[in-house]
Chains A and B, each alone.
Chain A
Amino acid sequence: MSKMTLQDLRNLRDAKRQDVRARDSAGKSIRIIVGMGTCGIAAGAKETLNAIVDAVAAKNLADVLVRQTGCMGLCHSEPTVEVIQPGMPTVIYGCVNAAQAVQIVEQHVIGKRLLDSLICDRPAADIVH
């Protein structure tokens, strides 16, 4: 792959987009939020984010938004992944590596089962939003 242009990128996107009537952001009901503050990045959150992005793209989950956030005050448990999903409790998973990130997508998002051993906490109280 060389000299990829923006038009090439647009074509690639159109080719990959199998669901022609994919909903826009407003219609997506599932949010996966990865902590990408410097604490998260130092703990490997980039690999975690990549694993989630690849898993969601590979399984063609059109209803999922992947967002980054800054530090949530849970620096001791980075990388953190929050999953907001209708019908499931909102949870923050802590110490999530790439393999566990894939498990979250498969077990929590698709299988609708919590990964109890990975659950961490709510954002720390001293973080000002």
Chain B
Amino acid sequence: MHATLCDYIADVVHNAVEAGATSVDLDIHASPVWMEVTVSDNGKGMDAERLRQARDPFFSEAGKHDRRRVGLGIPLLCQAAEATGGAVDIRSEAGRGTTVTFRFAAAHVDAPPLGDLPGTLVTLMALPGDYELTVRRRTPVGDFAVARHALQETLGDLTEALNLALARQYLAALEQDAV
């Protein structure tokens, strides 16, 4: 089960990259009342029927696990968000892309902790493939933005262990200033 908000964030961003997006925007916004995350991509999108199926726990898109009988990422996210009085909004257009927005009530007893955001962001930056990932983090204290291409230009190949460790250090420094 997903224990932290970062787990849900990773799920949705993975979906975006696997949908063939060349550009993914991740916005993580913490206000005193809500923890709100938006993932917006220009991947292959979903038509109305596929959009309906996305919320079905017994639906999984063909191709990755052909014999799989469940697709739990989005349904479990809906359940977790709604348990705190939050919600999940999915807008999509086939051929154009998808935007998933979900929010949890920050002070609710069932709200998951944020988790290891720097570590999660590093793994999201280092997925195989050619995609741009722009992350925007906003809190009442501060905010920062980081883009995959900028990290790659600064560090080089993100599959090198040294670069991964440095990227994590950089993101940890940014996160420390924002909370």
Contact = CB atoms under 8 A, between A and B. Distances in A.
A12 B66 CA distance: 45
A126 B170 contact: no
A2 B173 contact: yes
A91 to B, nearest CB: 19
A20 interface: no
A71 B71 CA distance: 14
Nearest to A26: B157
Given A1-B173, A41-B7, A57-B165, A13 B65 contact: no
A68 interface: yes
Interface residues of A, number: 41
A6 B154 contact: yes
B91 interface: no
Given A41-B7, A42-B2, A25 B155 contact: no
Interface in A76-129: 126-128
B83 interface: no
Nearest to A105: B161
B66 to A, nearest CB: 6
Interface string B159-179: 111111111111001101100
A13 B166 contact: yes
Contacts of B161: 52-54, 56-57, 61, 64, 66
Nearest to A61: B161
B139 to A, nearest CB: 15
A16 B165 CA distance: 11
B177 A2 contact: yes
Interface of A: 1-4, 6, 8-10, 12-13, 16-17, 24-25, 28, 36-38, 41-42, 46, 49-50, 52-54, 56-57, 61, 64-71, 73, 126-128
7 contacts: A1-B173, A12-B166, A12-B169, A13-B162, A42-B1, A46-B116, A64-B161
